[in-house]
Structure 1
Amino acid sequence: MQQGSFSGTKEIDLTNMAPDGVVVSVLSGVHSLQFRGFVESNGSKFYSDTFYREIIINNNNELTNTVFAIKENIPKDIFDNPKDNVPDKIKLYGLEQFIPYDFSISTYYPGSLEYIETVVSLEGMKTKYPINLKKGYTYDLQITPDVSGNTKLIIKSGDTIREINSVINKNSLGLEEDSTSLEFYFKSDGRTNSSSNKDK
């Protein structure tokens, strides 16, 4: 077995991946590719993270609306059984409260605008992330959730909105919102009139 590292480019004809007799017609819109590698040793396979990539196809300028595509990596420990397929419905994986999260976004929009004004946010958070997106480019974003629980990534430009379901895990480092020496604690989450510290 050869050891070391290598790099290169491999072109894959997606139409050849269809079963025999199946005719593939790639429609205009957002499509996804999901792939991962593995190493086999003593009959066992050890998988890498899954690379999730969305691509935008516009056949003969058929797209008349703005669309968004994302790129992320799905951690290998997401699946209990490493033979499981990547889920059909994408969501953001690995979001953790107070920990910066990186992902990428791209867009296509009809017309000749130089860019479109876009806002990225997480449902339940007040912080918004404005960005000017230009078609044909990929942009790397970093968001820092300050809440935990079920959420949605919201990408909005004008009347076009894309929502991606996700879950923000509670912080594992014991980090909490700083409320020391504050005259008021401004969040009412989990507090009622019967709370022992309701006047704080």
Structure 2
Amino acid sequence: MNRLAKLISVLLVAIFLTACGTNNEEETDTQNQENTSSESNLNNEEQAVETNATKEEEVLVSLENTEGAVVGTATLKGKSSGVSIHLEAENLPPGTHGFHIHEAGVCEPPTFESAGSHYNPTGAKHGFDHPEGPHAGDLENIVVSDDGTVNVEVMAEMVTLEQGAENTLYTEDGTSLIIHSDADDYISQPSGNAGDRIACGVIGE
């Protein structure tokens, strides 16, 4: 009887230890699943933050006049509908002026011809009023106050700040912002009769 009692005791202990081991494994598996789920959620949140940061990327552009003096700053921000451009400038001639994105990121005074023509990756005609327009780089005219200042926001709906994307402003040659001496008539070729280039700033410099 003593041997039988001992044998039963040993078996009970073995069964108890096996049950504890199974419970520990189940708890470990549950913890691993919870940790994996938490890591996945964190990764998704990080990706969402990165995506939002890309959409809300800001680029500052410093604009200089024909004498090389800084006259303003443009803040470019990527939007779902294109790129918003917030221009703040001073010491400009009062009146209405053409404002465009040009195809080269080079601003050499005094003429700024180094900036090339309007940014036009689609091969369109110039002008919002042209049936085959506009250029991707065509922007609305800006109005400078009598005191020579301007504070305005315009939308460039056909471009993006996303590198490598279609119509990106980050091309091999770069791009730039140009303010002209006269108003853009939105139809004349190749640049709307907007006159001389009086201010220039390289995008992404």
TM-score range, shorter chain: 0.3 to 0.5
Larger Rg belongs to: 2
Between Structure 1 and Structure 2, the one with more strand by share is 1
Give the TM-score, by structure 2 length. 0.34
Between Structure 1 and Structure 2, the one with more helix by share is 2
